[in-house]
Amino acid sequence: MTLNDTQAAIRDMVRNFAQAEIRPHSTSFERNGGYPPALFQRMAELGLMGMTAPVEFGGAAADYTSYALALIEIAAADGALSTITSIQNSLIVSSLIKDGTSAQQARFLPDLMAGRMIGAFALTEADAGSDAAALRTRAEKIDGGYRLNGAKQFITSGRIAGLAIVYAVTDPAAGKRGISAFLVPTDRPGYGIDKLEHKLGQGASDTCAIRFEDLFIEDELRLGAEGLGYGIALSNLEAGRIGIAAQSVGMARAALEVAISYAKERKSFGQPIIQHQAVGFRLADLATRLEAALQLVLSAASLKDAGASCLTQASMAKLFASETAEAVVSGAMQTLGGYGYLEEFGLAKIYRDVRVCQIYEGTSDIQRLVIARSL
């Protein structure tokens, strides 16, 4: 796919920013378990907290291809930060623009777009991950609003978020048509962090178990009509899966660049190891698979830009890119031998960070199910 001038300019701008201001600090972000608030605000200045949002809402009005390219560059510098950026754009800001009232948009979008507020997407529960219709969190209708009770699991940014979009059952007898969405400010009484999860990777992005105990939500903070929450959640899957696929490509590219650079410099038997067929062919295969993943991402994004349905293509991109990424990072580590296993070369961190891309926003098994249903 050939990029237009605007897309190439956005890619280059984000690459320069990410390599200069994010990548040098990635290890310390992981060690500290988070990011300085000023970094989010700096990203917002560059339009990265509302990339596809219209200008009238304070967004950058970029197309989805540019959005994917930007996520690739952020992920190439820091995988965990690209996760927060993806959720902020595809699940929080997009939901407010598509389904929020003008009052809701005016209340939350300025802070979200400016990076002063981070959003959390609270759908998954301990017994309801891929099967979102099995939610147990309840929103009981009371005078003036709803009483929210229940628990959520694996919620990205649950600790640092100022706003959570929470999905809860309002009509238990209606199945998935009885789920509604709510805009929940996290400073409300009744919002609590049960546990900050200790994960294999992406340590700078907090992942939490959240509990709601008699949390009152007024009627005007329901997102969309009652009973439409399941549809609101699913409507963002295309962009969300394109985002995770883009992340995968970015992290894998960073690892491959380390391996290629090392293979050009490291000498064995009198020549750079990249000239040994065993190494050169491995890198050639990894580069080919990574290019195929990139093109799947850009193809799905271009369909999204054209207004076409692309759920199958987004699922294909996520499936192939996330599984390819793990293989590429593993191959990069193998190229460095023992050095690839050391933290100081950076591949170990990327390996930890990239593995979850096959799990969140729909596991690889779910992607195969979606693709199979379309055949």
pLDDT in tens, 311-351: 999 999 999 999 999 999 999 999 999 999 999 999 999 99
Q: 94: burial class by Cβ within 10 Å (0-12, 13-18, 19+)?
A: buried
**Domain boundary residue among 174, 202, 229?**
229
100 and 114 assigned to the same domain: yes
112 and 137 assigned to the same domain: no
98 and 32 assigned to the same domain: yes
For residue 167 the two structure tokens come to: 């999905």
Is the distance from CB of 190 to CB of 211 less than 8 angstroms? no
Cβ atoms within 10 Å, residue 338: 8
How confident is the model at residue 358, as a pLDDT? 98
Non-local (6+) Cβ contacts of 219 within 8 A are 144, 145, 146
**Domain boundary residue among 85, 118, 151?**
118
In tens digits, what is the pLDDT along the chain, a chain of 375 residues? 899 999 999 999 999 999 999 999 999 999 999 999 999 999 999 999 999 999 999 999 999 999 999 999 999 999 999 999 999 999 999 999 999 999 999 999 999 999 999 999 999 999 887 776 789 999 999 999 999 999 999 999 999 999 999 999 999 999 999 999 999 999 999 999 999 999 999 999 999 999 999 999 999 999 999 999 999 998 888 999 999 999 999 999 999 999 999 999 999 999 999 999 999 999 999 999 999 999 999 999 999 999 999 999 999 999 999 999 999 999 999 999 999 999 999 999 999 999 999 999 999 999 999 999 999
**Domain boundary residue among 229, 256, 275?**
229
Pairing of β 179-185 and β 222-223? antiparallel
The CATH number of whichever domain residue 252 belongs to comes to 1.20.140.10
237 and 368 assigned to the same domain: yes
DSSP code of residue 90: I
* Amino acid identity, position 153: Q
137 and 68 assigned to the same domain: no
247 and 180 assigned to the same domain: no
260 and 273 assigned to the same domain: yes
Is the pTM above the cut of 0.85? yes
- CA–CA distance, 170 with 100 (Å, rounded to integer): 18
105 and 132 assigned to the same domain: no
The CATH number of whichever domain residue 49 belongs to comes to 1.10.540.10
Catalytic positions, please?
Answer: 361
135 and 30 assigned to the same domain: no
Domain range enclosing 14: 5-118
251 and 180 assigned to the same domain: no
The CATH number of whichever domain residue 191 belongs to comes to 2.40.110.10
106 and 145 assigned to the same domain: no
Three-state DSSP class for 122? strand
317 and 369 assigned to the same domain: yes
- CA–CA distance, 74 with 20 (Å, rounded to integer): 11
The total number of structural domains in the chain stands at 3
